[in-house]
A and B are shown apart, each in its own frame.
Chain A
Amino acid sequence: MRVFGLNGRIIRALLGSQYATMLEYRAEIALWALSGLLPFIMLSLWSGSAARADLGLDGAALDRYFLSAFLVRQFSVVWVVYAFEEDALLGRLSPYLLQPLHPLWRYVAAHLGEQLTRLPFAVAIAAAFFVIQPQAFWIPSIGDVLLAWAATWMAFAIAFLLQSLIAALCFWSEKASALERLLFIPFLFLSGLLAPLTAFPPATRHAVQWTPFPYLIDFPARLLAGESVNLAAGFGAQLAWVLLLLPVVLWLWRAGVRRYSAMGA
């Protein structure tokens, strides 16, 4: 039986082959993991600054927040646009479109394979962090971990759908991937990766809540760090964004594929 065009065998085959591919690129993925060190640099700034008092994260809580933000980011990085652009450029897209499987599933599997490859590097960086900052060490409760895990998955889903939207635009303009930058900049500043959302002035914070960005880092990171958060509001907003984006992405893809085949490419 197939659900969304998938069955157990397809899932196993996709994940297995993508994981094997990603293992070949482990050196590159290790470097990607390293290039996500920005939260730690921001942590060192916030720790020593006078503005720290406003954050509502005392003592080790700040360390834990930024470590969690780092981990959440590691497992919600999305690069569909780039993979899609390369596939389109190298002519790999047409055979994918002929297969009885939505091409996006292939990219989902590639991302999961990459996350699995990234796992040991992320753990190593976290361990190094605890060696340098032993006072920050904590073992989150199993409930927190499961909730944060679920929230990170939802964050990944939102980020994936947002980028797939831009990837679908590539059917119309080959340089659509440049739009990804316009998405990344607000993400960088408003997601909580560089500053906890509590640092923002109330008006800004209020406005930001209506964007998808805080649910990509701030919400899952707070869950993992053991901060008190409004579970219903957080998961509700994540779900709402997924439900909003999913039909749009699917519709845009279908229209894009129709256009692509009409052009006879």
Chain B
Amino acid sequence: MRRYWRSLRRFWGTAFATQLEYQANVVIELVAVALSLSGSLLLLSLFFGPGRALGGWTWHQALVVQGFYTVFDGMATTWLRPNLGSIVTHVREGTLDFVLLKPIDSQFWLSLRTLAPAGLPEMVLGMGLAAWGAHQSGVVLTAAMAITVVAMLMVAALILYSLWFLIAATSIWFVKTWNATEVLRALLASGRYPLEAYPAPLRVLFTLVLPVAFLTTVPAEVVLGKASTPLLATGVGLAAVFFTAARSFWIFALRHYTSASS
């Protein structure tokens, strides 16, 4: 276990060192984050007007959803895209062999090898936006709520990671379809808005098949005191199911890789 911790510290140390090689990108990233957030807020504001709500959510409540979406978008930039996006590169260039020959779990290596600090400001901004929206909606923070929110955000992160990893792992078979995660990213954009704003069939889709709802709407409901215990339990259950699926799928994919690659 200590070896994993030490490896992790080294992984991220080198990741930050790599980023420092390209300082100009930091400026571009910051501008991009500012632009992106203003664009999202502009778009969201179009749905609201005097006395208007979106799927029963007020402007400030919807800001909480938008804030959590921003957090996960930043998390994807910082963590998921740089790591899971490189799986297909490893497969295409044959360097997956190096990973498999390291005396460390290959999923651990592939999932946590690097970090791109570019998404961190976005995560901070998103948290700020969610907090402001909650404050304006008259929410008073309690310890119990804070713990539940953090727990649900971790459940959401686990779901998102597992889903992304599942799709990225298919590149073991389909080297040419590295865009599969782009489809996921496009569909995840639906998490910018409260689940209730969508028609019923999409709501089912976004809850059970592609659990976008658990990324943003459910944590926002916890903040706003709307969440029901069965829903939270479903979230935890789904996270467990998706993570187990991702793990077993990886083991299966590796067996295929090692028995079929040339």
A and B touch in the complex (CB under 8 A): yes
Using CB atoms and an 8 Å cutoff, list the residues of chain A in contact with chain B.
24-25, 27-28, 31-32, 34-38, 41, 44-45, 47-51, 54, 173, 175, 178-179, 181-182, 185-186, 188-190, 194-195, 199-200, 204
Q: How far is the CB of A80 from chain B (nearest CB, A)?
A: 17
- In the bound complex, what is the Cα–Cα distance between A199 and B43 (angstroms)? 9
Q: Is the interface of B mostly helix, strand, loop or mixed?
A: helix
Residues in B whose Cβ lies below 8 Å from that of A32: 179, 182
24 A-B interface contacts by CB (under 8 A): A24-B176, A27-B174, A27-B176, A28-B176, A31-B177, A31-B183, A35-B182, A44-B198, A44-B202, A45-B197, A48-B197, A49-B47, A50-B49, A50-B53, A51-B48, A175-B25, A178-B25, A178-B29, A182-B28, A182-B32, A185-B35, A199-B46, A200-B42, A204-B42
**Complex contact A35–B39 (CB within 8 A):** no
Residues in B whose Cβ lies below 8 Å from that of A28: 176-179
In the assembled complex, B95 has its CB within 8 A of some CB on chain A: no
**Complex contact B199–A35 (CB within 8 A):** no
- In the bound complex, what is the Cα–Cα distance between A227 and B170 (angstroms)? 43
- In the bound complex, what is the Cα–Cα distance between A51 and B48 (angstroms)? 7
Most chain A C-beta atoms within 10 Å of own C-beta, residue among B47, B180, B193: B47
Closest to B22 in A: A175
**Complex contact A49–B197 (CB within 8 A):** yes
Residues in A whose Cβ lies below 8 Å from that of B148: none
Interface members, chain B 7-45 (any A CB < 8 Å): 22, 24-25, 28-29, 31-32, 35-36, 39-40, 42-43
- With contacts A41-B190, A44-B199, A194-B43 known, what are 8 further pairs, Cβ within 8 A? A32-B182, A35-B179, A41-B187, A44-B202, A45-B47, A47-B199, A49-B47, A178-B28
**Given A25-B176, A28-B178; A181-B28 close (CB under 8 Å):** yes
Residues in B whose Cβ lies below 8 Å from that of A47: 199
Residues in B whose Cβ lies below 8 Å from that of A189: 39-40, 42-43
Residues in A whose Cβ lies below 8 Å from that of B25: 175, 178
**Complex contact A38–B54 (CB within 8 A):** no
- In the bound complex, what is the Cα–Cα distance between A185 and B43 (angstroms)? 12
- In the bound complex, what is the Cα–Cα distance between A175 and B48 (angstroms)? 39
Cβ-defined partner of B180 (8 Å) among A24, A31, A37, A173: A31
Q: How far is the CB of A206 from chain B (nearest CB, A)?
A: 15
Residues in B whose Cβ lies below 8 Å from that of A173: 24
